[in-house]
Amino acid sequence: MPPWAAISHIVDMCGILGAVSTTPGLAAAGVDAQLASLRHRGPDAEGRFDGGSGVIAQNRLAIIDLAQGDPPITNEDGTIGAVLNGEIYNFLELRERLAHAGHSLSSHGDTEVLAHLAEDHDAVALARRLDGMFAFAVWDRRRELLLLGRDRVGKKPLYYWSGGGTLVFASEIKGLLAHPAVPCRLDERALSAYLTFGYVPTPHTFFAGVKSVPPAHTLTLVPGREPRLERYWQLGVPGVDGSAATSLDIGLEDAARELRVHLERVVRRRLISDVPLGAFLSGGIDSSAIVALMAGAMDEPVKTFTIGFEDRDGFDERPFARAVAERFGTEHHEEVVRPSAVELVERLVWHHDQPFGDSSAIPTYLLSQVTRRHVTVALSGDGGDELFGGYERFAAGLAVDRLLGLPAVVRGAGERLVATLPPDALRGRVGRVQRFAAAVEKGMPWAYLDWISYVPEPWRRGLLEAPDDWAREDYARRWRASAGARPLDRLLALNVETYLVDDLLVKADRMSMAHGLEVRSPFLDTGLLEFATRLEPSLKIRGLSLKRVLKHALADLLPREVLSRPKRGFGVPLDRWFREDLETYTGDMLGAGAHVREHLNGAEVDRMRAEHKAGAGNHGHALWTLLTLELFLRRHSW
């Protein structure tokens, strides 16, 4: 029997929700509406557990334990109920310990261990015992106690609102707003943050009073008291004051060998399912690695899925994916998509609940749609770039200190040279390179932040009547918190705390759950993340050579053309779309009468559109950011 076969009956992918209130009847008053609002996350079953001043509930997408895993799940005497979104990988071990301690478990699923653990442990101790991707809620109706928890890196979402003796929580913000206790009000401070990042940083949202439970945190509530947030895990970064993490003193060969063992383990652990399972495949290093390792661990061909766009901009990775599929004999499915951008942008805003600046949500949504026709679970390569330094921006960030070491006259000449490049130079990245060159003098993290900003800083300040820099200052605070660590370690840790949490994982969750598809990300395994963080930076990036140790670990497995292929983002041709497909629609949406003009400088919006249309600049990402903002504001009549 393969080593992972003993792990069985694990998963409940779903939407969880509930409320606790000192006002009689208020907690349960909105549960039906909350369940209805999240039905897309779990269409197979729903249930609730209530008593006293609290109620918890969930919609269930059944992956394993199809017959016995429907909610509600309780302990032996029915005093404690639990709901779970995600999966707990070590639940069999926990189950054995609970049984040895005298607990009687009646189901074959992982949710039940939460109810039993809550008999003896507080929220922090409970969460520390879990290994997996999860958001959970436990209601103890005897002690009148609510426990909420979220996994270590934030794979599964969890939002809450608290006020007037009531707390409401849900997997998505729409699940909160469905409850009559929760007001729907705009937080104006979110606008400034959104223009920079394309999202509002955790724990804040676009809705006043609505927050997300941060990754690696629990929330404990006794009715009538204030909720208590506590951190239960922190990624250790070597060199940071107070961190117990130390660098691994191993070379490239040993690191690659150990990494390969980790990768085989984490992939095998995610192959358990009583429903059809497959993998996303782009033909890049990360997704190809997952498919290759799956092929070596499964007795049947891996089901792989790829989409492509037939356009002149080259946003089509089907040939690369096809080559990998043939190499490993997969059951390959590819589809050419011809998206209606107008229809999709409105749908994506609904699923995200907030404006979302990352346009790669479009192909992620479409790929999930295609994949769900054949399977219910898909493995992805998300996280490989975050762990091993796969983004060009990391190399750019490392160059800042070296550039500042050059004479000022040399730096000035270089900036002037970059400023003369045409908009289509450097594979369309010239805008970001120009912003980066102009910001080098600011040092880190400001030069790096200018590189990643969705709306360039001069435009942001022009669009806002009174720019609020709270989110940028918070970003700098996070950078300062890693003082003492090596520059790449600091960049990677900053990326895990920001982009990974609020962009990549949000996109993966909302776009897959829009179709009732569960996505598993082996690279984001906690043990693998901690191992990668302790590796020497030079094993990840040396000059412009990215992901060195990962490529070395896969050298005997993947085709050379995959290992040497430059990274391509999973994107869409925004610059062309806003000059052609979306030009008229954008004019209608952002022109006179646009809601966004009530919050931003309309003249600057017009100037950005005019520059882009004339080809004087490529503002596709900024325009997408404004368009999704407009649709969001219209939805709420703000």
- Please, where are the H alpha helices in 420-467? 430-439, 446-452, 457-463
User: Is-contact 52 22, C-beta < 8 A?
Assistant: no
Q: Which of 7, 10, 11, 14 is catalytic?
A: 14
User: Is-contact 77 62, C-beta < 8 A?
Assistant: no
> Would you state the structure tokens that stand for residue 567, as one six-digit string?
């990274």
DSSP for 592-625 reads: TT-GGGGTS-HHHHHHHHHHHHHTSS--HHHHHH
- The b/e string for 564-600 (b: 16+ C-beta within 10 A; e otherwise) is eeeeeebbbbbbbbbbeebbeebeebbeeebbbbebb
Distance between CA atoms of residues 129 and 117, nearest Å:
9
Q: Which helix (H) or strand (E) holds 112?
A: helix 111-120
Residues in the chain: 638
Phi-psi region for residue 144, left (φ > 0), alpha (ψ -120 to 50) or beta? left
Prior bond of 72 cis (ω within 30°): yes
Q: Is the dihedral of CA 579, 583, 589, 591 positive or negative?
A: positive
SS (H, E, C) 496-508: HHHHHHHHHHHHH
Distance between CA atoms of residues 624 and 637, nearest Å:
20
HSE, side-chain direction, 13 A CA sphere, residue 635: 22
Rg (CA), the chain: 24
Residue 192's φ and ψ, nearest 5 degrees, are -65, -40
SS (H, E, C) 272-308: CCCCCEEEECCCCHHHHHHHHHHHHHCCCCCEEEEEE
Phi-psi region for residue 361, left (φ > 0), alpha (ψ -120 to 50) or beta? alpha
Task: Give the three-class secondary structure for 219.
Answer: strand
The residues that bridge with 305 in the sheet, in sequence order, are: 280, 333
Any catalytic annotation for residue 184? Answer: no
CB-neighbour burial class of residue 407 (10 A; exposed 0-12, middle 13-18, buried 19+): exposed
Distance between CA atoms of residues 56 and 124, nearest Å:
19
User: Is-contact 290 384, C-beta < 8 A?
Assistant: no
User: Is-contact 297 266, C-beta < 8 A?
Assistant: no
CA-closest candidate to residue 66, choices 120, 17, 117, 9: 9
> Would you state the structure tokens that stand for residue 318, as one six-digit string?
């089907």
DSSP for 33-55 reads: HHHHHTGGG-BSEEEEEEETTEE
CA-closest candidate to residue 578, choices 611, 542, 602: 611
Residues involved in catalysis? 14
